[in-house]
Each structure stands twice: as C-alpha cells, then as structure tokens.
Amino acid sequence: MFAVFRCLFIRDLLLAVRRLADVLTTLFFFVIVVSLFPLGVGPEAETLRTIAPGVVWVAALLASMLALGHLFDSDFRDGTLEQMLLTPQPLSLLVLGKVMAHWVVTGLPLVLVAPLLGLQFDMAPSALPILVVSLLLGTPAISLIGAVGAALTLGVRGGSVLVSLLVLPLYIPVLIFGAGAVEAGISGLGAGAHLSLLGAILVLALCFAPVAAATALRISLE
C-alpha cells in the first residue's frame, strides 16, 4: 500500500518537473504580490512591519490556490483517475500522495522564499523563523483543504472560480492563526498558542481531507 503511495508521489513530482512553468508561475506570483506592497504602501518601516505577516500569508494563500486546478485535472482528462478508483488500495491514500506532491512543488518553495521577502518589510530576525514554521504548518493544510474543493469541482465548467468560492471560507482559520503567530512573535507575546492551533488544523486536515476528497472524486466521476 505504501509502495503505491510512494510511486504516485514520485510520479507527480516528475510530472511537475516537466511542467516547470506551472511551478514557477506560483512562485513568481507569490514574490510579485509580496514585493508590490512596499511600493504601494510606502517606505515607512513601522507600517511595513505591521502589515508584513498579513501580506505574506495572504499572498501565500492566493499563490497556493493558483495550482489547485492542476491537482486532479490532468489525471481526469487522461483516464488515470478512473484507474485509481479500480486499484485495491484506498483512494484516500492515493489522494494524500498527490496532495503531498502538490505541496512539495507549490507550497514548499513559498516557505523557502518567505524569509527573504520578509526582509523587504524590515521584519525582525527573530520573527523570520516563526514565519517559516507557521508556513510549514499552514501551507500543507491549505493544500489538503484545497484538494477537497478541487475534487468537488472536477470537470465542471468554471471550476477554478468555484474552487475559490468553496475553499476561501475554510482557509480563514489557517490565515488568522498563521498571521497571528507571526504578529505575536513580533510583539513578544509568544507564538506557541497560534502554532499549536495551526498544528491541530493540520492534523485534522490530514485525517479528514483525503477521505473527503476521495469521496468527492467518486461523485465527480460517476
């Protein structure tokens, strides 16, 4: 069972490397959105430090949503999803493998670039590790929740718009606790509570999102 999970994970990584433009589009969108805010708001350091956590987190959330349309679409068009339904392994495990590969190629680069972008906002060096940890906990949850929306809108005309309407309300807790962790770290209040809640959201998403996405895929393919 786990060999199939590993094979599907590696397969999706290789396909993502072949579609490198899609991966770079997500990363460039994140960099451009975050970089535009200092130009629009102005060079005042105090203002930039205040808005930095929210800006970085909103940009990461929107950038992650750009690639949701490609999560199941190519497999749906070439018939791979139908073959996945026929395998004896649980479909939820296969969905988890695809989501993890999706996060590695879209979410992980955002986490790695975020500290450099945080320097544009004059963030304190002590706040940058908190930013990285919050994104490491939050971006996988974003991918898992987004997978449910992508599965529900699979094959539907205008599915990318519907995905946004479905998942954006579910992203609100992740956004609040992710940005709140960085703000608490900057103000010296301690980010432990916010990071613990982000971890709890990630655990819940790992438990329930693959099952919900697998059920939605079965409905979409019927």
- H or E stretch covering 157: none
Count helices and strands in the chain by DSSP H and E runs: 10, 0
Q: How far apart are the first and last CA of the chain?
A: 25
pLDDT at 201: 95
pLDDT at 153: 83
- H or E stretch covering 84: helix 80-86
pLDDT at 88: 82
Q: How far is residue 187's CA from residue 109's CA, in Å, rounded to a whole number?
A: 27
Q: How far is residue 186's CA from residue 144's CA, in Å, rounded to a whole number?
A: 28
Is residue 176 within 8 Å of residue 151, measured between CB atoms? Answer: no
pLDDT at 37: 85
At position 95, the amino acid (one-letter code) is V
pLDDT at 159: 62
pLDDT at 156: 72
pLDDT at 87: 81
pLDDT at 185: 86
pLDDT at 76: 81
| CA dihedral sign, ordered 51, 54, 55, 56 | positive
Is residue 202 within 8 Å of residue 147, measured between CB atoms? Answer: no
Segment-wise mean pLDDT, segments of 10 residues, the chain, 222 residues:
83 83 85 87 81 90 83 80 82 89 90 89 86 93 90 74 83 92 85 92 93 88 74
Q: How far is residue 195's CA from residue 4's CA, in Å, rounded to a whole number?
A: 32
Domain locations in the chain as residue ranges: 2-221
Would you give the distance in Å from CA 29 to the centre of its chain? 14
